[in-house]
Amino acid sequence: MLYKISELSDLYADACIRDESGELMFLSLYGRDTAIQQFLAAFTVKESCGGLSGFCLTPVNDTDGRSVEQVHMRSPDRLTKFSGRLPRDTLFGNLVHTWIYDAVLLKPDRSTRTAWFMLDEPFTPEARPRLLQGVWSLYKTLSPVPLLDSWSDVVMRATHAECVSFLEDSDHPPIGKVTAAKVLLTESFSDDVSRMVQAGMIGLNGEEAVYLEQARSANAMAA
């Protein structure tokens, strides 16, 4: 599905990711080069002078405007742009495909223990394992202590409420065929892992498999 940019004509997006406050993190944008340049320039001008601090995305087949999505873009300086020109002999003529994104999407910040994972498909039950696999890879990247892959189920079950924000569940879910998650490991993460080891929930000798089987059995009995 394509979404039109309400503030400027002949600009369309097929994917957009916002953070928990609605701030733009990623935008896949199509249009003529002059229209895209005009769009980007609008965020460098004060609103009182005709500039923009955000924009609206509306599905192209939404004739009554009921499905408008608001996107904030208050700090354009933190965003990076990458463009590619589509073949000229297409039905739509001379179009440019531009990706606008925050660099934190590509580079985990170990100092703040923050990272993002994007998936180029919408959130579905089939996509969930791939999303969780990407989230776990960020756990291992950000963790100050080594983590074994066999610990993934136990560690994420115990910590995801504090450490993972699935954007699909936020007030500003992903738009288009894309989904994302933000990982922010808490200051107590190392201590949490140590407590799991001490409690026999995870370990070097397969303790996590026994713990998970016991948890499944307890859940089955409770049901």
Instruction: Give DSSP secondary structure letters for 169-205.
Output: GSSS--EES-EEEEEE--TTHHHHHHHHHHTTSS-TT
- Most confidently predicted of 36-45, 89-98, 164-173: 164-173
CA 186 to centroid of chain Cα atoms: 19
Asked if residue 142 lies in contact with residue 113, where contact means CB atoms within 8 angstroms, the answer is: yes
Kindly state whether residues 29 and 69 are assigned to the same domain. yes
Kindly state whether residues 62 and 128 are assigned to the same domain. no
Kindly state whether residues 59 and 80 are assigned to the same domain. yes
Q: Is residue 109 part of a domain?
A: no
Quick one: which of 28, 15, 36 has its CA closest to 94? 36
Kindly state whether residues 98 and 62 are assigned to the same domain. yes
Q: Is residue 14 part of a domain?
A: yes
Kindly state whether residues 152 and 174 are assigned to the same domain. yes
Query: Cα separation of 10 and 135, whole Å?
Result: 36
Kindly state whether residues 79 and 141 are assigned to the same domain. no
b/e sequence 80-108, b meaning 16+ C-beta within 10 Å:
eeeeeeeeeeeeeeebbebebbbebbeeb
The total domain count for the chain is 2
Kindly state whether residues 98 and 11 are assigned to the same domain. yes
CA 144 to centroid of chain Cα atoms: 23
Q: Which amino acid is at 97?
A: H
Reported pTM: 0.86
Domain span holding position 130 = 114-222
Quick one: which of 75, 122, 69, 83 has its CA closest to 102? 75
- Indicate the residue among 40, 70, 104 that finishes a domain: 104
The per-residue pLDDT for range 44-98, each reduced to its tens digit, is: 888 777 788 899 999 987 665 567 899 999 888 899 999 887 666 655 567 889 9
DSSP state of 52: -
